[in-house]
Structure 1
Amino acid sequence: MPKRLQLTFDSELLETISADFDLRAPNREALRQLAFVLDGDYDPEVMQVLNLATGVGKTYLMAAFIEYLRAKGVGNAVIVTPGKVVQAKTIANFTPGQPGYIAGSPVPPDIVTPQNYAPWIARLNSGTQPASGAQTPVLAFIFNIHQLIAPKTLEGDTHGSGQEAMKRKPRRFDENAGVLFDYLRELDDLVVIADESHLYGVSAEAFHGALRELQPAAMIGLTASVDKTKDHVIYEYPLYRAIQDRYVKAPVLAFRKGGYTGAAASEEQQLRDAIQLRAYKQDFYDTYADTHSRARLNAVLLVVCADTEHADQITSLLRTSEYFGSDFAVLQVDSNHDKEDTNRFLAGLEKPDSPVKAVVSVNKLKEGWDVKNVAVIVTLRAMASEVLTQQTMGRGLRLPFGAYTGVGQIDQLDIVAHQSFEELLDAENVLQQFGLEQAVKDSDPSRVRTAIRQAAEQASGGDALDGTPDASADGSPDGRISASRGVSIGVETSETGQPGMTIRHIPETGTSCTPNFPEPPQVVTITRNPDFAEVTYTFPVTTVKQEQPRFDLSAIPRKTIADAAKRVTSAKDVLLRKEIVAALGKDLHGADLESAEVDSIPVAAEAAEHALVKLVLNLQQVPKTPETAGYVKSFLVPIFCNSVDFAHWTVKTLGCAQALLRKIISDYIKELSREIREVPVIHPKTMPGSGYILLLGEKVHAQIDNRRDFVRGRVYAGWFKSLFSAESFDSYTGEYELAKLLNTSPSIVWWHRLHPADGAFVSYNALDRYFPDFVALDRQGVHWIIEAKSERGRDDATVAAKRRAAEALVQRLAAETAFAGQYWGYLIGFESDIAAADSWDDLKALAQPVSNLV
């Protein structure tokens, strides 16, 4: 019978782990789905595949899943990687202190590699076994797939770095531990996690066979490329959704209307266009980094060549003075250039001092090359017979600053095509040629052709590339540079605000070989209002911590232990008796007879005591500490055993004793949980900051007088009592109207619009918090924490919980040293109250706020 994990679905644990690892929404969903499947009647011999788009964070999902396994008492996982590069990266991901380490687990796994068996040997020698909820680390065996395939022969060296030596080592006897492969195969709880699992599918017989030979209790696959005819996919998050949800860059297919004609000349012109585009994007990278206090980052050009010989030619060309003019600015990465210096430059590609501006490779770029700053990919005509693999295209999808910026030239990946307008129209499947078939929900060729045609028409109109994400339909967003955003496929960006796959032209001017890119838009900084430039205040940031009494089994009264022991039954076992009755013409049947009492199987007193100690220490909630173990062995169990009313232990009395002892511990834990208290903690935070930068291309707008003209997130000027000269809002009838009221009320001295980035929040329980909308100082000297709410919130339980927490905070501030001599209040302004009020005093009368002003 195949081995299968015994994992019960634990929703609360999943939520905790997802929060600890700060998982993105799709990874949270994938983790829940995986836990749900493993709680069911799954087939251990079938790989459960999670298909997530490149750049979403599959390694974070892997780390969170291993933590879930640890918390559930599963102690062994084999992580399979496709090669040495990904293997080294994965080891770093799970090693505290290493670059790329994924934090989140209180007990990081112990890492075993072909070069380091020490954690495995130590575990075997210690005799420690994992238990549900235990603090024992998972043993994570990180191997690349080539190291798991059976060698040609077991005879030979196991210490060398060659492939055959690496293959022999797990299958050869180790004098300190035995045979690793046999150890793994005999485990009941082994989980195999295959990274880039599309490489180990059923069609890859050697790879797939190596995984099945381990006979794991579960096989999990993580990939961005599945074969839906063969793979058992349990969760899917395609690329187009990752683009819409702003987890990765939006790909842009860029082309010259006339294409690139001529052999060598065409490649050179295509490279010049790509280099100009890279330099254009670099301006946006630099401006964003400077204005957001981030380290500068090179916008990198990735050049995809047909083969290594072609890559040699292109690298030499790009290093000449007509292009980058530096050997260090161009890095060649292929099978002929895989040396230490190359890997060092490649590893440092995201560092501010990296000299590399272009990477030249072939179309088989390996998985695991996970950099964030590829801004432009160019596919040269010499590789026209091939398609750009999705894995290669995916190398450029990660966001350079870790999150969506709202700046198109940063949040987009440009792929410069070698084809002309006509060639693109004639192509049978354009998106597949560039690895983009999953970038749109519906890749209908006719829709793609329409987008290409429309982009070419924009070219005829003389439009140019734009650095802003929200240009208007006519290409003239509020007087800014006339520009074309290209034509979106599959997502109506102008209506939904979601990014999507785009096709656009590369602008040309007359006979010039240089594309006509406009200057990046100017940076707009929102500064302090001169009348309040020196004003600061302290905001009471509030968190809630849970205080739980220390788990201490010595708190269980001795009398409770002794009384339970006295209830252990010493009765004999019962032998049920039936008489077999045969009646003419009827089947045989049994008739009950008087039962007989028989002696139960005896158990030695030492064995019974040992069994009871083991029971207590293996209970999930009992801490696995030396102090707890010592108390259980030296006091709790001996007291229990000395209090029983019989002299000799049996199997029956031991079973009864185990049940009673388990109940004692369970009752103590329930009592302990009732004593958990939620305690607010106040963290004084000096406000406000010095100012903030608008997204590139945005500008400040004049105030408005009606809801129809309001745009959420737009910045409006004209606030003479605000601490800042201009502000943005999320709603008109709530926040915007309340700001106007505060701005014109004689009772208000100043007001400050709060944004989530300010970090000014109030927690209303241990898990949830909210961000108020305003702080205002009135002429009575009261600082008011203010929220604007829709009418729906009047009877909302969450709003009520927030209000209770804020009211308690206001009272508590009267006793806080950091707020001595200050008065604070809290007010919720519902839309109808804001509309009915002509002043701050009117709103207070309607809203019935609370304050600590006596």
Structure 2
Amino acid sequence: MSVDTDLIAEIRSRLQLRRPNADAVLSVVNAFANHVEGEGNGPFEGIVDSATGVGKTYIMAGLIEYLSAQPTSRNFLVLTPGRTINQKTIETFTRGSRRSLMPSLLSQPRLVTSENFDSAAIRRAIEDTSQTKVYVFTVQSLLLGRADSEQQRKTHEYQEGLGGGFYDVLAGLDDLVVLADEHHCYSGPEFGRVIEQLHPHAVVGMTATPLSRDRGKVVYRYPLAAAIAEKYVKTPVIVGRRDDRSDEVTKLADALALIKAKADLSRAYAEEVGVASVNPVLLVSAQDIAEAQRVQKLIESDTFEGGNWIGSTLLVHSELTGDEKERTLAALDSVEAAASPVRIIIQVGMLKEGWDVKNVYAILSLRTSVSEVLTEQTLGRGMRLPYGEYTGIELLDTLEVVAHERYEQLLEKRGILAEEFVATYYRPIVVKNAAGESTVKFEEHTVDVNATDGEATPPASGTGDSDEESDVAGWSWATTTIVDQTTRENEANGAARSSKGRLTQYSPIPEREPITVPQLKVIPRAATTSLTQIADRTPYVLLGVSLRDEGRDELKRTLMKGEIEGNVARIEVHQATSRVGASLFDVPLETTRQDLIRRVLTSPWVSARGVEALAASELVDAVIQGMGQEAQQYLSNFFEVAARRLLELIRSHLEPAAGSTVFEDELDMRPLEGIRATRRPQKADTPDLFEPDYAYNGWAKHLYSHAWFDSSPEYHAARAIDEDPGVVTWVRLLRNDSPITWTHSGTSYNPDLVVSERDSTTGETIWFVETKRDSEISSEEVQAKRTAARTWANTATLLMKQHGLSTKCQYLLLAERDVLDAAGSWSAMKRLGT
């Protein structure tokens, strides 16, 4: 077994794996390969220790894709610790479900569950060694030597459809790979025997909290500190009181005050950026059922906060039965829905592994110390991002942990709290050895983790869809912040009041020329390449220049001269000083041009799509442009050389792009004409000093009277654009104005600005402009978005040409240093950006 780094890169692109998840796949594959090559005893065992909320399901999908693409395995058993994770995993491999990854999976695995395993069709699938199978079962359903449930009996008893017992059939597979989700749950000897007696080829565990005895099996670790620092999860803020009040009423009131403020901010944010609002939820952990019932009764009473929370609680515990249990589980499953009335979930040890709703915004543990909350699964229930990414609004990007301890006690133990977040981990890096072969080495990474006091907390104001960090000194998104309740509540209420300002609507200014932008759909194919992915024509022009300069239009002549020195005669070869022109053919340039285009279109990397012919013609024309006036002469006589070199160049550009996003041939042009609204106060002009909380007026070419921004580079780029004489109109884009899909699963993003400029020579160009901090510009996500956006712009240009339009689309990525170095010049920004 070898490590195919190209395959891993392709899978990462196709599944749009986050960087740590791709690292996890590479680490497991590398450890597995080392085990096989070293002829290790027994099955391979490895554990992925990855922070909750980063996406362990994607790691499992990536491993299935990799191992099924090799001769390694076609059979994968996903073990789950309970109903919740089991159902979620089934949905992952079910086409059409909201969690489904099937459109991105080349392996297209056959899903086998407790509902369908005992059929003849499944038996045929198992016997088909070319088909990938994924078996999703709870570990309890496979327990040996017990008949506590019908399911346990069914998996071990003889099944006529299978021709044997299901467990025995699994144990007879020599390529079975066990993927143990929440691996730490299988510490009991019974669970261990379930895995051991399957005699698997490999066992890979997934967990955020590995057992101490299993530390030696960890092949990849991605700590929570790193996930916070890289903005894959919320930032926890620990809230404590300065006084001695620690009764239940006070704690509940404290937590709900923050929930109310977050709800106001969430509504305002969703309204401004045009997305569905998320309802913030408080998760209360009680010690026992009696305490949980007492707390629910308190919250649902008329005397608690005037009865404002009546009908908003959901109680979850292990003794629920019958219809009540089903109603509770249904309410729990729909807690993210806009129509859900649930704002407070009270649970007793139930909501741990696998329960992964995104709208838990505060956690209150009534008796447990904060250090225990941070080390157990409870914290993980609130770490996922409600809007899929950081909003730029601090209170919407944080999880409040309402502490049992006083604020001063928390400060005294902040060093201990910081230690709860493991800060050192090792990243796998692919390097070339002396023989030019790809090998994997591991590089140490350390996250700077501190538990700061509330003085470092950034202001909680602002609305927008940016992920810009706060500029407040001392704040770091990798920080665990400790803040007192009064300060935090004042911040939250102040931000909430700002969000309730008068909503002002803005319509396009009739006198300004509208901008019409293309809309494209991504091709829902797992892996593909397209000539539209080649946006830069410069290498093709240079190829033409190189071919021209090789001087193939002349015959090289050699002169053989005989010389005698003493008794020795020798022949010497010299370059002839006179040259004779080659016998030249004279084929019409258009004929060789069309032949080159056909050669490109019949290459194995190009699909038979209409837009490909346009893209091929542009690449060929770029080569001809480089040849200049000698193009006809050169192609007449050295066509095969030109074709070979052109195809080599195309292949070198398309191979790294395999699996990245390409777009359909359908073009939809839509004007930007919608009404936009914000509660931000207005500024009458565009001063040098940028403040993020204002809507700015004073533009000469913006389609609307006012524009608002999330960062200083974005604002100053807009000022330069507005002052450029070649610009006709520009718009500060909001969410869904002009979305560019950059993943096969449909994830899209909007650039910051769209600019229409007109030139008497080149005609109209529509620029889509994105600004990023210097620290972000080289990140893999930003570069992946850039790649997709350039393909998108190139495809749009070709399709508009096909429809008789001369408008061109361009994408420009600007670092903050580019904006600064351009010194207010839009032309300079176009030269500096990428």
CA deviations 1:285-331 (Å, max 9, x no partner) are 22222233333332111111111111121111111123356664111
**Correspondence for 1:234 among 215, 219, 238:** 219
Q: How many correspondences in the alignment?
A: 649
1:722 aligns to what? 702
* Residue 390 of structure 1, CA deviation: 2.2
**Correspondence for 1:173 among 142, 154, 158:** 158
* Residue 88 of structure 1, CA deviation: 2.1
**Distance between the aligned counterparts of 1:697 and 1:441, measured in 2?**
41
- Any residues of structure 2 matched to 1:85-104 within 5 Å, and which? 85-103=84-102, 104=104
**Distance between the aligned counterparts of 1:387 and 1:806, measured in 2?**
45
Bigger Cα displacement from structure 2, 76-85 vs 318-327: 318-327
**Distance between the aligned counterparts of 2:692 and 2:357, measured in 1?**
33
1:336 aligns to what? 319
CA deviations 1:555-579 (Å, max 9, x no partner) are xxxxxxxxxxxxxxxxxxxxxxxxx
- C-alpha change, 1:424 and 1:689, in structure 2 (3 Å) is same
**Distance between the aligned counterparts of 1:167 and 1:354, measured in 2?**
35
**Distance between the aligned counterparts of 1:291 and 1:353, measured in 2?**
20
The one-letter amino acid of 1:105's match is L
Partner SS, residue 37 of structure 1? helix
**Distance between the aligned counterparts of 1:515 and 1:437, measured in 2?**
26
- C-alpha change, 1:117 and 1:313, in structure 2 (3 Å) is same
**Distance between the aligned counterparts of 2:319 and 2:144, measured in 1?**
28
**Distance between the aligned counterparts of 1:837 and 1:254, measured in 2?**
44
2:69 and 2:107 in contact (8 A); partners too:
no
The one-letter amino acid of 2:33's match is D
Q: State the superposition RMSD in angstroms.
A: 5.3
**Distance between the aligned counterparts of 1:229 and 1:440, measured in 2?**
20
1:68 aligns to what? 66
What are structure 2's unaligned runs of at least 5 residues? 426-445, 532-603, 605-647, 656-661, 743-747, 778-782
The one-letter amino acid of 2:280's match is A
1:150 and 1:168 in contact (8 A); partners too:
no
* Residue 217 of structure 1, CA deviation: 0.7
Partner SS, residue 34 of structure 2? coil
- C-alpha change, 1:424 and 1:364, in structure 2 (3 Å) is farther
- C-alpha change, 1:532 and 1:48, in structure 2 (3 Å) is farther
* Residue 347 of structure 1, CA deviation: 0.7
- C-alpha change, 1:127 and 1:310, in structure 2 (3 Å) is closer
Partner SS, residue 40 of structure 1? helix
**Correspondence for 1:210 among 183, 194, 208:** 194
1:79 aligns to what? 78
* Residue 425 of structure 1, CA deviation: 5.0
What are structure 1's unaligned runs of at least 5 residues? 1-5, 459-463, 472-487, 549-620, 622-669, 848-854
**Distance between the aligned counterparts of 1:270 and 1:336, measured in 2?**
26
- Relative to the length of structure 1, the TM-score reads 0.64
2:338 aligns to what? 352
* Residue 352 of structure 1, CA deviation: 0.9
CA deviations 1:172-205 (Å, max 9, x no partner) are 222232122222222221000000011224xx32
Partner SS, residue 54 of structure 1? coil
Bigger Cα displacement from structure 2, 170-179 vs 495-504: 495-504
Partner SS, residue 346 of structure 1? helix
2:44 and 2:203 in contact (8 A); partners too:
yes
- C-alpha change, 1:327 and 1:208, in structure 2 (3 Å) is farther
2:359 aligns to what? 373
1:606 aligns to what? none
1:109 aligns to what? 109
Partner SS, residue 210 of structure 2? coil
The one-letter amino acid of 2:202's match is A
2:3 and 2:33 in contact (8 A); partners too:
yes
2:138 aligns to what? 144
Determine whether 1:224 maps to 2:246.
no
* Residue 257 of structure 1, CA deviation: 0.3
Determine whether 1:415 maps to 2:384.
no
1:80 and 1:143 in contact (8 A); partners too:
yes
- Relative to the length of structure 2, the TM-score reads 0.65
**Correspondence for 1:274 among 242, 250, 255:** 255
1:503 aligns to what? 482
**Distance between the aligned counterparts of 2:80 and 2:789, measured in 1?**
51
2:727 and 2:756 in contact (8 A); partners too:
yes
- C-alpha change, 1:365 and 1:492, in structure 2 (3 Å) is farther
- Any residues of structure 2 matched to 1:23-42 within 5 Å, and which? 23-41=17-35
Partner SS, residue 215 of structure 1? coil
- C-alpha change, 1:389 and 1:702, in structure 2 (3 Å) is same
CA deviations 1:576-626 (Å, max 9, x no partner) are xxxxxxxxxxxxxxxxxxxxxxxxxxxxxxxxxxxxxxxxxxxxx9xxxxx
The one-letter amino acid of 2:318's match is S
2:239 and 2:483 in contact (8 A); partners too:
yes
**Correspondence for 1:535 among 507, 514, 518:** 514
**Distance between the aligned counterparts of 1:113 and 1:387, measured in 2?**
34
**Correspondence for 1:284 among 260, 265, 282:** 265
1:581 aligns to what? none
2:642 aligns to what? none
The one-letter amino acid of 1:147's match is S
* Residue 372 of structure 1, CA deviation: 1.0
* Residue 142 of structure 1, CA deviation: 1.4
- C-alpha change, 1:492 and 1:9, in structure 2 (3 Å) is farther
1:583 aligns to what? none
- C-alpha change, 1:191 and 1:698, in structure 2 (3 Å) is farther
The one-letter amino acid of 2:313's match is V
The one-letter amino acid of 2:400's match is D
**Distance between the aligned counterparts of 1:679 and 1:519, measured in 2?**
41
Determine whether 1:51 maps to 2:45.
no
1:314 aligns to what? 295
* Residue 168 of structure 1, CA deviation: 3.4
Determine whether 1:467 maps to 2:450.
no
Bigger Cα displacement from structure 2, 405-414 vs 285-294: 285-294
1:526 and 1:724 in contact (8 A); partners too:
no
1:407 and 1:469 in contact (8 A); partners too:
yes
- Any residues of structure 2 matched to 1:420-459 within 5 Å, and which? 420-424=406-410, 431=417, 437-438=420-421, 448=451, 451=452, 454-455=453-454
* Residue 810 of structure 1, CA deviation: 10
- C-alpha change, 1:496 and 1:685, in structure 2 (3 Å) is farther
**Distance between the aligned counterparts of 1:360 and 1:807, measured in 2?**
50
The one-letter amino acid of 1:750's match is T
**Distance between the aligned counterparts of 1:803 and 1:413, measured in 2?**
33
Q: Which has the larger radius of gyration?
A: 1
**Correspondence for 1:253 among 226, 235, 238:** 238
| Identical-pair percentage | 28
